[in-house]
Amino acid sequence: MTEINLFDEDESLAFKHILIYPYPDLKRLWVRIWLPARQKAELNVELRLFNPDGRENNSLILLAQTDTKLNHTFHLKEPIQPGATYWMTAELSTGFGEQTELLDRQEFEVMLEFRDPEAGQPGFGIGLEALFSAQEEDE
């Protein structure tokens, strides 16, 4: 019998894609994250959103994730500034406390304006070119 390995142990432990869409109310962000498939990896994800003036708005911490596709709602603290450019940092790590090992860190802008994913409008994040070109090939 041939064994089919669903995990690629040679794949780097880094974010594949991060895709963010502001909700129409501009008080929440729809966050989708694709992680590498690793058999024994329990990955921590930390997102921090910074206001246009540089102060931290809010954060989202997901501990010991074993799924490869994460889908969450990120809530913004008030007051919000529609149309303004915010800054997101994303960190991927393993372990806890002193055993924490940072694997990947990404930074990118998020403009606080509604974009409709159903209409094919672009979102914000990293790895989007590869993500959307792969989706077009699937269609």
Domains of the chain, CATH where assigned:
17-138 (2.60.40.10)
- CA–CA gap between residue 35 and residue 116 (Å, rounded): 24
88, with CB counted inside 10 A (0-12, 13-18, 19+), is buried
d(CA 54, CA 48): 11
Burial status of residue 83 (CB atoms within 10 A of its CB: 0-12, 13-18, 19 or more): exposed
pLDDT score at 128: 82
> What is the pLDDT, as a whole number, of residue 13?
87
Which pLDDT value is given to residue 119?
Answer: 93
Kindly give, in sequence order, each residue whose CB lies less than 8 Å from that of residue 50, ignoring residues fewer than 6 positions away: 56, 57, 86, 87, 88, 89
Spell out the per-residue pLDDT of the chain, length 139, in tens: 665 545 555 667 899 999 999 999 999 999 999 998 876 778 999 999 999 999 999 999 999 998 999 999 999 998 899 999 999 999 999 988 899 999 999 999 999 999 999 998 999 999 887 666 655 555 5
Question: Buried (b) or exposed (e) across 7-18, using 16+ Cβ within 10 A?
Answer: eeeeeeeebbbb
Task: Read off the pTM.
Answer: 0.83
Peptide bond into 79 cis (omega under 30): yes
At residue 78, the pLDDT reads 83
- Residue in 35, 26, 33 with CA at minimum distance from that of residue 7: 35
